[in-house]
């Protein structure tokens, strides 16, 4: 069974997995091609198998390492944080921005989020929830922060496993209600933008980006709409 050679673009590894009868859209030769491997779990439905996307070495062991993939036409990204891998749709649900090319920060409540470079929306890499810094008016009518709140899942997350001696496997999670990120998940232009945006300048728990995000969203509601 043949494997592929991942290409490095602006510091990010990019691969494309083609599944039988479900060709992956592609606008250039910037994405490598891989062959779908056999299903590894007997309980996995035929329409949603595990797919080998890369060698384990394709995602570096440090926090913030990531791999952009196209599986069955869907653009997804694998991110490493805290020794674990997380997988979610690459393209931001809000406006089609390169979400997974953004910085990764930990909110004060401990939730680890990737921040979309376009509008600094914090999205949990584990649950796909969009978070915002809530505010309320005090007795003097001034807005004061009241903590970080979630509006619920907006970005679809997927199953990912790192199997020693075998590689990194992904299983798309397409069950349940539709999510906002579904509308951009197969968009070739938006998907390849994530891969070519390059790595973020800072990846860590510094909170530097969150300070800018809080300033933007402190006067806005759940999905960025102004409260006043």
- Residue 110 domain-assigned? yes
Q: In this predicted structure, what is the pLDDT of residue 215? A: 42
5-29 pLDDT per residue, tens: 344 444 455 555 443 333 333 333 3
- Residue 225 domain-assigned? no
- Residue 160 domain-assigned? yes
Pairwise CA distance, residues 111 & 126, whole Å:
9
- Total of domains in the chain: 1
Q: Collect all residues with Cβ–Cβ distance below 8 Å to 110 and sequence separation of at least 6.
A: none
Q: Between these two residues, 31 and 68, which has the higher pLDDT value?
A: 68
- Residue 192 domain-assigned? yes
- Residue 69 domain-assigned? yes
Domain residues for the domain of 189 are 7-217
In the block, residue with structure tokens 């890499």: 125
- Residue 227 domain-assigned? no
Pairwise CA distance, residues 18 & 47, whole Å:
14
Q: Collect all residues with Cβ–Cβ distance below 8 Å to 28 and sequence separation of at least 6.
A: 192
**Cβ pair 151, 180 in contact under 8 A:** no
Q: Between these two residues, 30 and 224, which has the higher pLDDT value?
A: 224
- Indicate the pLDDT class of residue 221, thresholds 50, 70 and 90: very low
Question: Which CATH number fits the domain that encloses residue 47?
Answer: 2.102.10.10
In the block, residue with structure tokens 């996995």: 44
Q: Between these two residues, 86 and 33, which has the higher pLDDT value?
A: 86
- Residue 124 domain-assigned? yes
Q: State pTM to two decimals.
A: 0.70
- Residue 163 domain-assigned? yes
Extract the tokens encoding 193. 């933008």
């Amino acid at each position: 069974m043949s494997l592929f050679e991942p290409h490095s673009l602006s510091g990010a590894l990019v691969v494309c997995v083609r599944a039988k009868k479900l060709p992956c859209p592609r606008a250039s030769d910037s994405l490598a091609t891989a062959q779908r491997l056999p299903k590894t779990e007997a309980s996995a439905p035929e329409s949603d198998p595990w797919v080998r996307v890369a060698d384990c070495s394709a995602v570096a062991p440090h926090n913030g390492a990531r791999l952009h993939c196209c599986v069955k036409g869907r653009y997804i990204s694998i991110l490493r944080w805290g020794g674990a891998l997380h997988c979610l749709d690459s393209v931001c649900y809000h406006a089609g921005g390169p979400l997974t090319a953004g910085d990764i920060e930990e909110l004060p409540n401990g939730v680890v989020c990737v921040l979309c470079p376009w509008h600094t929306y914090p999205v949990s890499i584990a649950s796909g929830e969009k978070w915002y810094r809530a505010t309320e008016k005090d007795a003097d009518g001034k807005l004061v922060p009241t903590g970080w709140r979630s509006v619920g899942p907006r970005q679809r997350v997927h199953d990912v496993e790192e199997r020693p001696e075998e590689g990194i496997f992904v299983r798309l999670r397409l069950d349940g209600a539709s999510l906002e990120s579904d509308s951009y998940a197969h968009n070739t232009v938006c998907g390849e933008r994530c891969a070519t945006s390059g790595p973020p300048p800072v990846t860590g728990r510094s909170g530097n980006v969150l300070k800018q995000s809080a300033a933007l969203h402190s006067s806005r509601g759940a999905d960025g709409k102004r409260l006043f």
